[in-house]
């Protein structure tokens, strides 16, 4: 628990606060078929060209990461029809030293990243790991240590070896649970003493929505077409159960192999507001929160929460469990809670006593009190303070903000400078409210901006949507020099970290160094 000192009362963050940034292997590494790496489902995520979205209502767009077996098979058989940006990323596999040095220049204390499972076990379940893949992460972690940066490593960040998805339907199968445990044991032993902070699954609560890359489930397309992920609550929660067991097994292994390490979950926190003071709208917030809390409730408390039983009963969910699953969940609880926070949502009653969750990453009802990004995401810094209080009140565990950021369409000016003041204003507002949450008594121990370097978008596989304090000269199709330059927000974040969060003024000169 953070002691509220006079310095903190005067605006500073704790001296040991972990400032940094967050990325994912499948969005930055590239080198998808080098040094023994096997194919992953994310390698077949095509570019959703931003030009093709002109005039579309962002709220009506189809799920971008959902994929049926038929469409995946087509991508595998006819790769010439598609562009697959995640295969090239931003070439971090070859540029990691330069990229980490730029992050260290900003003053980073932590770098949240992920390991590509396919780089360690090319098929996911190979009898022996790929030494070249293990050696790559040795080099990355060693470089982090050299620069004074703590690596914080996600074991599975929307990344599944293709073989496990195609042959076993990913986490629908207990075979994948066992393969994941072997993978975890391998990396915990290999990187003992190099990695102190681990996370299990990125945004695990997306398993009930449409993101197939988080659980590897590849289902047949319905007759006549349509979304293979619609409904199917029994299948979704079976995959969810298996992932929760896999997460618990990872926690147990981590604690056994490296008692000095800590391991957390990762939740996409969807803070919900009722549209009105009508009791029914308030009830809808409760229903939505149940699904937002469900995964972390299991991971933090080690048991299924009371409220899920009615949903299972009403929607015919009957999970198949192994005899020791409940004991595993009880033993394999997390040490801290990690969240991504981007926006808040408006809820309106759906007219059922036990309605199904929306599973949407975009609110269907716009909040008239908030500005929106061009991707339709409400900007709500105060919501961050609210949600941090809600999380800490529920779990009384330390909290790490593992993703917070804003994607904008911006390119360098004629002098090569990226004037991304929108990033600065977004960060300023959220850091202010994060500090208020600490004053409230919430134990927040770190903050990672998503992403500190431009990367391939998770949902749309485009570069056009830019987050980085470090600009990368690549377009959606991989054209460009790949050169890294410092954006205006680079200098702002460096100043912010150097002042321990006290200097929030946007006073970076227009002729900043690139």
Residue 497's pLDDT band, with cuts at 50, 70 and 90, is very high
Task: Answer yes or no: are the C-beta atoms of 473 and 480 closer than 8 Å.
Answer: yes
Residue 221's pLDDT band, with cuts at 50, 70 and 90, is confident
Task: Answer yes or no: are the C-beta atoms of 120 and 187 closer than 8 Å.
Answer: yes
Backbone angles phi, psi at 412, to 5 degrees: -60, 150
Gap between the Cα atoms of 183 and 216, Å rounded: 16
Gap between the Cα atoms of 45 and 41, Å rounded: 7
Which has the higher per-residue pLDDT, 288 or 218? 288
Judged against a pLDDT cut of 90, whether residue 71 lies above it is answered with: no
Q: How far is CA 177 from CA 182, 221, 242, in A?
A: 9, 25, 7
pLDDT digits (tens, 9 = 90+) for 352-403: 776 666 655 566 788 999 999 888 899 999 999 999 999 999 999 999 999 9
Nearest Cα residue to 216 out of 302, 129, 157: 157
Phi-psi map region of 247: left, alpha, beta (phi>0 left; psi -120 to 50 alpha)? alpha
Residue 61's pLDDT band, with cuts at 50, 70 and 90, is very low
Residue 54's pLDDT band, with cuts at 50, 70 and 90, is low
Task: Answer yes or no: are the C-beta atoms of 468 and 452 closer than 8 Å.
Answer: yes
Nearest Cα residue to 38 out of 158, 161, 150: 161
3-state SS, one letter per residue, for 356-391: CCCCCCCCCCCCCCCCECCCCCECCHHHHHHHHHHH
Q: Which two tokens stand for residue 298?
A: 């299991």
Question: Which residue of the set 203, 271, 288, 462 is catalytic?
Answer: 203
Any idea where the domains of the chain sit in the sequence?
Answer: 6-498
The predicted structure's pLDDT at residue 55: 54
Q: CATH fold of 6-498, please?
A: TIM Barrel (3.20.20)
The predicted structure's pLDDT at residue 437: 98
Q: Which of 134-138, 233-237, 416-420 has the lowest mean pLDDT?
A: 233-237
Gap between the Cα atoms of 109 and 493, Å rounded: 12
Q: Which two tokens stand for residue 219?
A: 């289902």
- Let me know if 203 is a catalytic residue: yes
Nearest Cα residue to 392 out of 328, 284, 296, 323: 296
Backbone angles phi, psi at 12, to 5 degrees: -80, 155
| Residue whose tokens read 């927000």 | 489
Residue 475 C-alpha from the chain's centroid: 23
Q: Mean pLDDT over residues 301-307, rounded?
A: 97
Element (H, E) at 352: none
Q: How far is CA 50 from CA 71, 295, 364, 461, 511, in A?
A: 21, 33, 21, 10, 31
Q: Give the residues across from 153 on adjacent strands.
A: 113, 198
∠ CA 479-153-498 to the nearest 5 degrees?
80
∠ CA 456-375-459 to the nearest 5 degrees?
35
Task: Answer yes or no: are the C-beta atoms of 331 and 302 closer than 8 Å.
Answer: yes
Which has the higher per-residue pLDDT, 182 or 209? 182
The predicted structure's pLDDT at residue 62: 43
In percent, how much of the chain has pLDDT > 90? 79
Gap between the Cα atoms of 48 and 430, Å rounded: 29
- Let me know if 462 is a catalytic residue: no
The predicted structure's pLDDT at residue 64: 44
Judged against a pLDDT cut of 80, whether residue 118 lies above it is answered with: yes
Residue 59's pLDDT band, with cuts at 50, 70 and 90, is very low
Average pLDDT of the chain is 92
Nearest Cα residue to 182 out of 264, 123, 241: 123
Question: Which residue of the set 29, 150, 288, 403 is catalytic?
Answer: 403
């Amino acid at each position: 628990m953070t002691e509220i000192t006079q310095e903190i009362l005067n605006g500073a963050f704790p001296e040991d606060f972990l400032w940094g940034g967050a990325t994912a292997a499948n969005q930055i590494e590239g080198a998808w078929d080098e040094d023994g790496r096997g194919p992953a489902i994310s390698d077949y995520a095509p570019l959703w060209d931003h030009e093709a979205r002109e005039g579309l209502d962002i709220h009506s767009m189809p799920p971008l990461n959902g994929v049926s077996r038929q469409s995946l098979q087509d991508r595998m058989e006819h790769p010439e029809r598609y562009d697959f940006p995640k295969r090239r990323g931003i070439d971090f596999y070859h540029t990691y030293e330069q990229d980490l040095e730029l992050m260290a220049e900003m003053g980073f204390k932590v770098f949240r990243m992920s390991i590509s499972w396919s780089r360690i076990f090319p098929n996911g379940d190979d009898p022996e790991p790929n030494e070249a893949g293990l050696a790559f992460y040795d080099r990355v972690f060693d470089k982090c240590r050299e620069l004074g940066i703590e690596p914080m490593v996600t074991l599975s960040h929307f990344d599944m070896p293709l073989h496990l998805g195609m042959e076993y339907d990913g986490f629908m199968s207990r075979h994948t649970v066992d393969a994941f445990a072997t993978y975890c044991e391998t990396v915990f032993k290999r990187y003992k003493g190099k990695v102190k902070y681990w996370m299990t699954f990125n945004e695990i609560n997306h398993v009930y929505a449409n993101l197939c890359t988080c659980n590897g489930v590849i289902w047949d397309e319905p007759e006549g077409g349509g979304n293979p992920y619609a409904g199917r609550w029994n299948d979704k929660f079976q995959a969810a159960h298996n992932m929760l067991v896999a997460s618990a097994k990872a926690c147990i292994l981590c604690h056994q192999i490296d008692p000095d390490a800590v391991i957390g979950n990762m939740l996409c926190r969807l803070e919900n507001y009722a549209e009105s003071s009508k009791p029914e709208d308030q009830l809808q917030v409760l229903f939505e929160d149940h699904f937002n809390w469900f995964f972390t409730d299991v991971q933090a408390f080690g048991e299924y929460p009371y409220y899920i039983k009615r949903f299972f009963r009403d929607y015919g969910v009957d999970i198949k469990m192994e005899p020791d699953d409940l004991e595993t969940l009880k033993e394999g609880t997390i040490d801290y809670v990690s969240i991504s926070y981007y926006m808040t949502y408006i809820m309106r009653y759906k007219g059922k006593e036990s309605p199904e969750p929306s599973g949407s990453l975009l609110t269907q009802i716009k909040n008239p009190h908030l500005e929106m990004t061009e991707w339709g995401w409400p900007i709500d810094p105060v919501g961050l303070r609210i949600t941090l209080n809600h999380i800490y009140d529920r779990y009384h565990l330390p909290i790490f903000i593992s993703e917070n950021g804003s994607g904008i369409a911006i390119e360098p000016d004629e002098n090569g400078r990226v004037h991304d003041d929108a990033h600065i204003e977004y960060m300023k507002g959220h850091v202010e409210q994060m500090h208020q949450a600490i004053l409230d008594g919430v134990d927040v121990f770190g903050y990672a901006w998503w992403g500190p370097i431009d990367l391939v978008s998770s949902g749309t596989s485009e570069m056009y949507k830019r987050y980085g304090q470090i600009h990368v000269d690549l377009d959606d199709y991989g054209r460009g020099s790949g050169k890294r330059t410092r954006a205006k927000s680079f200098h702002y974040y460096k100043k912010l970290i150097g002042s321990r969060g006290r200097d929030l003024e946007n006073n970076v000169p227009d002729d900043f160094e690139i």
